[in-house]
Structure 1
Amino acid sequence: MFDYTFQWNQALARLPRMLDGAVVTLEVAVLSMLIGIVFAMILTLMRLSDSRPLKAIAATWIEIARNTPALLQIYMAHFGVASFGIHFSPFTSLLIGITFNNAGYLAENFRGALKAIPDTQARAGRSLGMSSLQSFRYIIVPQMLRISFLPMTNQMVWAVLMTSLGVTVGMNTDLYGVTQDLNALTFRTFELFAIAAVIFYIITKIITLGARLIASRLFRY
């Protein structure tokens, strides 16, 4: 027989700690996206280069990132490298795992965006006296970012949700980790995780709506 008494007041009293955890969740997600974008740009250029070794390295990274569980990638960053005497904190391991995953997906988004830009765009830049680097920087990259902006938003949402995997490597300062600790302390499982779900939902909706607003302002034409 169902005999569970809801006590929302106990869970709501812990809301400040959960919001502190949400801040850490956003820190991990934002950092993983910023670093991931840098690596994704590098991987994209490597994938499009004429060098077979560079292509192979980029392709291997992307294949592993896209075709293995994100949890496994976080495990490898925390437990795998520990076999070689390299030890990372749970925060760093989570950040490395999510960044690795983000870079793989974003690299494919960027490559697809570059393929969608006509070659005439680069040639037009060269005809104006730009170098290949200048043409890529001022003409190609802005268009690439415009095309891949909304897919990047989806990856940001995914990064926020992936932070919940940090609890598997001992991360207890993010939203999910804090919720897990509070649950062990109060046994208010439903209430605490329901509140955590709402916070996750609000964060992801703010990201999605904010991205749409930014896109409508920056990419009108």
Structure 2
Amino acid sequence: MNYHFQWSPVWKAVPDLLPGMLMTLQLTILSFVLAAIIAFILTWGKRSKTFLIRSICSSWIEVARNTPCLFQIYMAYFGLGALGLSVDSYVAVLGAITFNTAGYLAEVIRGGLDGLDQRQYRAGAALGFNRLQTFRTIILPQLIPLIIPGAGNQLIWSLLNTSLGMVVGLQELTGATYTAQSLTFRSFEFFIVTALAYYVLAKMLLLLMHGAARFYRLQRSH
């Protein structure tokens, strides 16, 4: 191998990559929070006695989990555009990742709920709680530790899926890296640094998530 690494163009381009990194973090956190809210609704809806609600929620989960996130981004950006509903690349990527992550998180939550003793709902009713109160005070504190590993995986999946925004012109971390390396032709160096950046971001997000879960458990124990 006669390849000679040249790192100086990468260090000079770091100020141009930072906005892309911040956009990646923003997309990841916002899409995950929105997806978590929707996932609880989907989980509830999939257990609904109403056929229409159950069908809509089940269809969302099935489509989200069995089609590529890249295809979902294309549908949000190009598909809606063909129907006359133009959205910018940021909104398209945010919507697609939220859609995708919500489907997976709904199954994570379902698995956690299936791992709990369902008789606790009857116990809550015996204490005078309605189903929402039973879920909030009895089920949720037990559910969170069960779903943290799966939810953590989905958080990282959301982070990595943001890189697909490059295909619709979004200047997140991968898009910004591609633009920067195209000016210097030092692709190997740029993408090594970007891969390390994704690794650090993933570890940081996991630590924050586990820290938040630990804080929640401590608050509930007092």
Partner in structure 2 of residue 48 of structure 1: 47
Partner in structure 1 of residue 69 of structure 2: 70
Partner in structure 2 of residue 178 of structure 1: 176
1:14 is paired with a residue of what secondary structure? helix
Partner in structure 2 of residue 204 of structure 1: 202
TM superposition score normalised by structure 1 = 0.92
1:3 CA displacement: 4.6
1:128 CA displacement: 1.8
Matched to 1:58, the amino acid is C
The one of 193, 196, 220 equivalent to 1:195 is 193
2:170 is paired with a residue of what secondary structure? coil
1:215 CA displacement: 4.5
Partner in structure 2 of residue 135 of structure 1: 134
Q: Give CA deviations for 1:117-158 in whole Å, capped at 9, x if unaligned.
A: 112212222222212221122222332222111211110101
Matched to 2:18, the amino acid is L
Contact persistence 2:141–2:217 (CA under 8 A): no
Matched to 1:50, the amino acid is K
Contact persistence 1:110–1:148 (CA under 8 A): yes
Say whether 1:107 aligns with 2:106: yes
Contact persistence 1:41–1:110 (CA under 8 A): yes
Partner in structure 2 of residue 89 of structure 1: 88
| Structure 2 Cα separation of the partners of residues 167 and 217 of structure 1 | 36
1:76 CA displacement: 0.5
1:219 CA displacement: 4.7
Unaligned 5+ segments in structure 1 are none
| Structure 1 Cα separation of the partners of residues 141 and 32 of structure 2 | 18
TM superposition score normalised by structure 2 = 0.92
Matched to 2:169, the amino acid is G
Say whether 1:31 aligns with 2:30: yes
| Structure 2 Cα separation of the partners of residues 166 and 130 of structure 1 | 45
| Structure 1 Cα separation of the partners of residues 204 and 105 of structure 2 | 21
Partner in structure 2 of residue 7 of structure 1: 6
- What is the percent sequence identity of the aligned residues? 40
| Structure 1 Cα separation of the partners of residues 82 and 13 of structure 2 | 38
Say whether 1:22 aligns with 2:51: no
1:4 CA displacement: 3.5
Superposed CA RMSD in Å reads 1.7
Contact persistence 1:150–1:211 (CA under 8 A): no
| Structure 1 Cα separation of the partners of residues 175 and 127 of structure 2 | 54
Number of residue-to-residue matches in the alignment: 219
Q: Give CA deviations for 1:19-68 in whole Å, capped at 9, x if unaligned.
A: 22111101000010010011111110110111111111111111111111
Matched to 2:19, the amino acid is D
Matched to 1:184, the amino acid is S
| Structure 1 Cα separation of the partners of residues 119 and 41 of structure 2 | 23
Matched to 2:87, the amino acid is F
Contact persistence 2:144–2:213 (CA under 8 A): no
Q: Give CA deviations for 1:146-189 in whole Å, capped at 9, x if unaligned.
A: 211121111010111101000111112x1111101101111111
Higher mean alpha-carbon deviation, 177-186 vs 201-210, is at 201-210
Higher mean alpha-carbon deviation, 30-39 vs 122-131, is at 122-131
Higher mean alpha-carbon deviation, 124-133 vs 74-83, is at 124-133
Unaligned 5+ segments in structure 2 are none
